[in-house]
A = this chain, B = another copy of it.
Amino acid sequence: MTSSLVSTDATSSSMSKPYVLGIDIGGTNTVFGIVDARGTVIATGSIKTQKHAKFEDYIDELYESATALLKVHNAEGKLHGIGIGAPNGNYYNGMIETQVNLPWPAPIPLTKLISEKFGVPAAVTNDANAAAIGEMTYGVARGMKDFIMITLGTGVGSGVVVNGQMVYGADGMAGELGHVIVRRNGRLCGCGREGCLETYCSATGVARTAREFLEARKDEPSILRNIPAEDITSKDVYDAAVAGDKIAKDVFEFTGRVLGEALADFASFTSPEAFIIFGGLSKSGELLMRPLREAFERNNMPMHRGKIKILLSDLKESDAAVLGASALGWEAK
Residues of A that sit less than 8 Å from B by CB: 1-2, 98, 144-147, 160, 162-165, 167-177, 179-181, 183-184, 191-193, 261, 264-266, 268-273, 299, 301-304, 307-308
B163 in contact with A163 (CB, 8 Å): yes
A179 touches B273 (CB 8 A): no
Judging by beta carbons under 8 Å apart, are A2 and B163 in contact?
yes
Query: Given A170-B308, A180-B269, 15 other A-B contacts at CB below 8 A?
Result: A145-B170, A146-B169, A147-B170, A160-B269, A162-B163, A162-B165, A162-B167, A169-B270, A169-B271, A176-B269, A177-B269, A181-B261, A181-B299, A183-B184, A191-B302
CB distance from A278 to the nearest CB of B (A): 18
6 CB contacts below 8 A, A to B, read A162-B165, A162-B169, A167-B270, A175-B269, A176-B271, A184-B261
A171→B307 contact, CB < 8 A: yes
Chain multiplicity (copies): 2
Contact indicator A176/B261 (Cβ below 8 Å): no
Complex contacts, A177 vs chain B, CB 8 Å: 268-269
* Cβ-closest 3 pairs across A and B: A169-B271, A174-B271, A170-B273
Question: A150 to nearest B CB, angstroms?
Answer: 13
**Shortest beta-carbon distance from A271 to chain B in Å:** 3
A162 to B3, CA, bound (A): 12
CB distance from A88 to the nearest CB of B (A): 8
Partner of A271, one of B168, B180, B191, B272: B168
Contact B302 A173 (CB under 8 A): no
Q: Give complex CA distance A173, B267 in Å.
A: 10
List B contacts of A272 (CB < 8 A): 169-170
Q: Are B193 and A299 in contact (CB under 8 A)?
A: yes
Complex contacts, A266 vs chain B, CB 8 Å: 269
